[in-house]
Copies of this chain bind each other. A is one copy, B any other.
């Protein structure tokens, strides 16, 4: 049995990336006359990267969702020497990190990949893993997946402020566009998160269980030419096929000269004896990071029962 403290506040972040419009529009809606509420805690909708939202870009100077590092948050540099996003991370951390130890973060994201609903969670966060399973079970089979981040690695993402939280990543949606179908999936996932928290806060016990998730073991870049420009694209067989199993013989790229490239052509043998699962296939923001898609393994985790302490 795992026990934990009551959740007193839920911060729901939209626009951590300024051109991911479901979160931006939902938070604005909740701030302007259609408040987001829960029975047992306070809910605080909040726009993260205000300048990037104005520009309708992912970020102004750098990716806000990597700036919540200890180094940045404790920086002794004057504000004038810091990028906008580092300053913003410090502002947000001052506002939220010290509220109390019982705050939860829901961070709303979009992707151009056909992820459907993808819940992003740390593997050591038993509370959030239970929440992810609760959300997943309320969607039709195959609509909601759980992407598990490994162990003690900290990415400097927004969840670093309060230690407990998940990101809700929904796609496919182009950058700078809001689609009704994608916003509906996003809003449903948020409402399910709050429903879970209310039940937990009211003393409901969540039984021990198994969850199925995905863990990235390698990130695959596009084929590139000597100038560093991409020399091929996601193969039509792989486009929109996030979470569908691949083997070494699956075609994953088509070079611009017409040649097909298989998965076996781009990775070593390591770990690809069995099926592997692609995610973030053709995510626009990952071109500059050198990522055409992630390759994941399917994993199963046992969760102990969970109850309010």
Closest chain B residue, CB of each to CB of A57: B57
**In the complex, A29→B232 CA distance in Å?**
9
Residues of B within 8 A of A225 (CB): 32
A112 within 8 A of B: yes
Q: Is the CB of B32 within 8 A of A180?
A: no
**In the complex, A256→B236 CA distance in Å?**
35
A119 within 8 A of B: no
A184 to chain B, nearest CB (A): 8
Q: Is the CB of A179 within 8 A of B288?
A: no
A5 within 8 A of B: no
Residues of B within 8 A of A256 (CB): 25, 28-29, 34
A45 to chain B, nearest CB (A): 13
Q: When the two chains form the complex, which single residue of B181, B229, B287 contacts A176, counting CB atoms closer than 8 Å?
A: B287
Q: Range of interface residues on chain A?
A: 35 or more
Q: Is the CB of B239 within 8 A of A181?
A: yes
A230 within 8 A of B: yes
Q: Is the CB of A239 within 8 A of B180?
A: yes
Residues of B within 8 A of A285 (CB): 176
Q: Is the CB of A180 within 8 A of B56?
A: no
Residues of B within 8 A of A239 (CB): 179-181
Closest chain B residue, CB of each to CB of A24: B229
Q: Is the CB of B28 within 8 A of A229?
A: yes
Q: Is the CB of B177 within 8 A of A282?
A: yes
Residues of B within 8 A of A288 (CB): 56
**In the complex, A269→B39 CA distance in Å?**
47
**Which 7 residue pairs of A and B lie closest in terms of their CB atoms, listed nearest first?**
A174-B174, A176-B284, A29-B256, A112-B174, A180-B236, A177-B284, A178-B233
Q: Name A's B-contacting residues (CB within 8 A).
A: 25, 28-29, 32-34, 56-57, 112, 172-181, 183, 225, 229-230, 233-236, 239, 254, 256-257, 282, 284-285, 287-288
